[in-house]
Amino acid sequence: MTSINKKEIEKFSKMATEWWDPEGKFKPLHKFNPIRIQYIKENIINNFKIKNKIKPLSGISILDIGCGGGLLSEPMSRLGANVTGIDASDKNINIAKLHSKKNNLKIKYLCSSPEKLNVKKKFDIILNMEIVEHIEDVNFFLKCCSRLLKKNGLMFVATINKTLKSYIFAIVGAEYILRWLPIGTHEWEKFVKPEDLKYILNKNNLSLKRIDGMNFNIIKNEWSVTKDLSINYITKFKKN
């Protein structure tokens, strides 16, 4: 079995050179990044009762799955975490390696998927950010991810809800009208409802601890955490 969707890998590999261009094809992700970094950081600090304010994630091991060019791996590393980033696209990994080297960051990047990853130690934190809507088999993927997480470790999953509103805003609006994303970036059939995500992860010994919506304000041109789960949402699960 595999969690890799070859069509999705090819799609993102073609755009690999644009990962770090804030005005390029990944512009929406650059806008989205600050709010998700803050969310992850605050939840880790609260969970592990961290008092170090300079490098709050020091000593925390993080696995960033579907890391792309390293947009999330790098800030996590700067906060002190020991980061491993994996992606099934060789081109993405090469871009990520090059960029982290330029910035003198020690991040372990591997071209891999969760089911192929062999590690001696499990991770404190697993990040599945904007990835579950691009993989082949959500059940198999999350089962493999859960095996890589330590007991009492946290898994963050950010994705898009499967609603009529998400189809209108995330596909019709973002891809066809506003052209924020290349047409074909998302497939509505692959979107995951929060209750389905919870059911799958419960089967794999993870409990939902927090769920929040992520909302983009077109007037303020910024993202914020909200109670509205109808389009983008982010979750925190804990390994039992």
What string of DSSP letters covers 62-130?
Answer: EEEET-TTTTTHHHHHHTT-EEEEEES-HHHHHHHHHHHHHTT---EEEE--GGG---SS-EEEEEEES
Joined together, the tokens standing for residue 100 give 């982290």
CA angle 21, 113, 190 (to 5 degrees): 75
The Cα–Cα gap between 194 and 229 comes to 8
Report the pLDDT value the prediction gives residue 189, as an integer from 0 to 100: 93
Question: Maximum distance among all alpha carbons in the chain?
Answer: 48
CB 213 within 8 A of CB 228: yes
- The domain ranges of the chain are 6-239
Check: pTM over 0.85? Answer yes or no. yes
Residues 6+ apart with CB under 8 A from 80: 52, 54, 55, 56, 57, 58, 59, 60
| pLDDT tens for the 240 residues of the chain, in order | 899 999 999 999 999 999 999 999 999 999 999 999 999 999 999 999 998 889 999 999 999 999 999 999 999 999 999 999 999 999 999 999 999 999 999 999 999 999 999 999 999 999 999 999 999 999 999 999 999 999 999 999 999 999 999 999 899 988 888 788 888 889 999 999 999 999 999 999 999 999 999 999 988 989 999 999 999 999 999 999
Angle between helical axes of 138-147 and 194-203 (0-180°, round to 10)? 50
Joined together, the tokens standing for residue 70 give 């390293």
Report the pLDDT value the prediction gives residue 207, as an integer from 0 to 100: 98
Strand partners, 149: 123
3-state class (DSSP) for residue 199 = helix
Strand partners, 207: 238
Report the pLDDT value the prediction gives residue 97, as an integer from 0 to 100: 98
The Cα–Cα gap between 235 and 213 comes to 9
The Cα–Cα gap between 12 and 68 comes to 8
CB 17 within 8 A of CB 96: no
Going by the DSSP 8-state scheme, the letter that residue 153 receives in this structure is E
CA angle 214, 67, 104 (to 5 degrees): 115
Report the pLDDT value the prediction gives residue 218, as an integer from 0 to 100: 84
CATH class held by domain 6-239: alpha beta
Report the pLDDT value the prediction gives residue 131, as an integer from 0 to 100: 97
Report the pLDDT value the prediction gives residue 19, as an integer from 0 to 100: 98
Report the pLDDT value the prediction gives residue 182, as an integer from 0 to 100: 85
